[in-house]
Amino acid sequence: MRHSYRIYCFGLVAVLLAACGAKDKRAVTLDGEIKGLGTDTLYLYGADKMYSHIDTLFVSDDRFSAKLTTDTLVSTWLLFSDGTQYPLYFDKGEHIQIAGDTAALQQLDVKGNSHNTLLSTFLKEQENANRSLEEIQSEVKTFIQANPASLAGIYLLDRYLVKQPAPDYKQIEELVDLMSGELKDRPYVDELLDNIRQEEDASIGKAIPFFQLPNVEGKKITRTTTFRSKYLLIHFWASWDSLSRKENAMYRRIYRKERKNEGAALLGVSLDIDRGKWRQTVKADTLEWEQVCDLNGWNTEIVSKLAIRTLPANVLINPSGRIEAKNLTEADIEKKFAEIKEREQKKKKKK
């Protein structure tokens, strides 16, 4: 009896040890070396609900590594501290290798599966060929026809056809039809089609949806209560986006020139996710007009409702709450605000 018990215990211990030492079949190894990163912090997050968490990657001497887990092939974004995002695809058991230079973060060399390799090759070829947007769009169509099951096709479609000033929605839908059924079933594609519908809903002349966002003091700001009967120029920015920071100087000039313009107002909507950095940047950049942020980044509702895809961006709303213009230049804004000021002065004279 004792002999049998010892055999049983030994067998149980052996099974437990084997289980502890077993390799996680869901494991993904990520290794990267990007010259110029030095010591930095990167973030990896899902492009859709199939990868719903955020991973923090610490960089030392230009290198970083991580152990990730997934049950299936997923689309993710690698977010750099300057706001640059690069798509990464990985499945369980894969070893993803990333190489590149901070001088060309959109031309990384990514290996580990065909999705990454195809995208890396395509982006490098377009850059080296110095093609026009129209030529690249034609190449994207050819790419999707040749690789209907590649996740890279979704990214290329989104970048070069959807995120453009005047998207050709019919052409985009035709290209989606070329994709494999498996690809169409992914949440990323559903979101892409939703984006197309949002673009149409947020076109010139459409009514702006209701929004309510907290300002620096935590007060809820809405268009109807805070900016009633005014033209409202909403500009979208983020502390981590270098182009936004540069353009903040333009809005600062406009605000100081137009702060007494009773018919117009400015509102800054930040896509920050760190309250401290947001508030610090508002102060550092002297953004004296109303600033709001709900710390949800690209998931901020008004951002998706107005189909904001890139930073910086702006949308002009008229007093009736309809979209009058998008992505105005400084000259365009000054001209519009001058017209508004003249209109307001005429109203006062009539009174």
Residues 173 and 219 in one domain: no
CA atoms within 13 A on the CB side of 129: 12
Same domain as 304, residue 332: yes
Mean pLDDT score, 121-142: 90
Q: Which token pair is 134?
A: 């129209």
Note the pLDDT of residue 198. 79
Indicate whether 5 pLDDT > 50: no
pLDDT at 270: 96
Looking at residue 209, its amino acid is P
**Residue 59 backbone class (left: φ over 0; alpha: ψ -120 to 50; beta: rest):** beta
The more confident residue out of 96 and 132 is 96
276 pLDDT above the threshold of 70: yes
Q: What is the pLDDT of residue 196?
A: 76
Instruction: Indicate if 226 and 193 belong to the same structural domain.
Output: no
Residue 140 in domain: yes
> For the chain, how many structural domains are there in total?
2
User: Does one domain contain both 49 and 129?
Assistant: yes
What CATH number does residue 228 fall under? 3.40.30.10
Please check whether residues 220 and 197 belong to one and the same domain: no
**In sequence order, which residues have a C-beta less than 8 Å from that of residue 259 and are 6 or more positions away?**
289
pLDDT bucket at 25, cuts 50 / 70 / 90: confident
Domain assignment of residue 13, yes or no: no
Q: Give the pLDDT band (50/70/90) at residue 11.
A: low
Q: Is the dihedral of CA 328, 330, 332, 335 positive or negative?
A: positive
Gap between the Cα atoms of 183 and 259, Å rounded = 50
What single-letter DSSP state applies at residue 161? I
Do both 139 and 229 map to the same domain?
Answer: no
Domain of residue 54 covers 27-201
State whether 192 and 154 are in the same domain: yes
CA nearest neighbour of 78 among 95, 96, 92: 96
In a domain, 246, yes or no: yes
218 is a domain residue: yes
Largest CA distance in the chain: 108
pLDDT exceeds cutoff 80 at 188: no
Q: How many Å apart are CA 174 and CA 166, to the nearest integer?
A: 16
Strand extents, DSSP E, 53-148: 54-59, 63-69, 74-79, 85-90, 95-101, 109-111
pLDDT surpasses 60 at 16:
no
Six token digits for residue 104: 């060309």
For residues 229 and 83, membership in a common domain is answered with no
Q: What does the DSSP 8-state code read for residue 298?
A: G
The pLDDT of residue 186 is above 70: yes
User: Is 4 domain-assigned?
Assistant: no
Sheet holding 40-46, edge to edge: 54-59, 40-46, 74-79, 85-90
Contact 107, 63 (CB under 8 A): no
What is the arithmetic mean of pLDDT over 248-267? 93
Judging by DSSP bridges, how do beta strands 95-101 and 109-111 pair with one another? antiparallel
DSSP per-residue letters across 202-232: TSTTPBPPP--EEBTTS-EE-HHHHSTTSEE
* Cβ-contact 64, 25 below 8 angstroms: no
Instruction: Tell which of 166, 201, 236 closes a domain.
Output: 201
Tell the burial category of 144 from Cβ atoms under 10 Å away from its Cβ (0-12, 13-18, 19+): buried
- Exposure on the CB side of residue 99, measured as CA atoms within 13 A: 5
| Domain stop point among 173, 201, 229 | 201
Is residue 184 domain-shared with residue 294, that is, in the same domain?
no
| Contact by Cβ (8 Å): 202, 194 | no
Residue at 19 is within a domain:
no
Average pLDDT over residues 217-223: 94
Which helix (H) or strand (E) segment is 268 a member of? strand 264-270
Question: At a CB cut-off of 8 Å and minimum separation 6, what does 53 contact?
Answer: 45, 46
Query: 6 pLDDT exceeds 60?
Result: no
Query: Are 282 and 319 contained in the same domain?
Result: yes
Q: Do 197 and 261 belong to one domain?
A: no
Note if the pTM is more than 0.75: no
Q: What is the pLDDT of residues 58-83, one digit of tens each?
A: 999 999 999 999 999 999 999 998 88
> CA torsion, points 251, 165, 80, 266, in degrees to nearest 10?
20
pLDDT of residue 48: 83
Question: Phi, psi at residue 253, to the nearest 5°?
Answer: -65, -45
| Cα 65 to Cα 93, 98, 114, 116, distances in angstroms | 15, 10, 21, 17
Residue 262 domain flag: yes
Of the residues 201, 226, 251, which one is the last residue of a structural domain? 201
Whether 159 and 227 share a structural domain: no
Can you tell me the mean pLDDT for 159-186? 86
Q: For residue 15, is it within any domain?
A: no
- Distance from C-alpha of 267 to C-alpha of 251, rounded to nearest angstrom: 10
pLDDT in tens, 26-48: 899 999 999 999 999 999 999 88
> Whole-angstrom Cα distance, residue 240 to residue 128?
28
Query: Is the model's pLDDT at 278 over the cut of 80?
Result: yes
Residue 299 DSSP one-character state: G
Whether the pLDDT of residue 347 is over 80: the answer is no
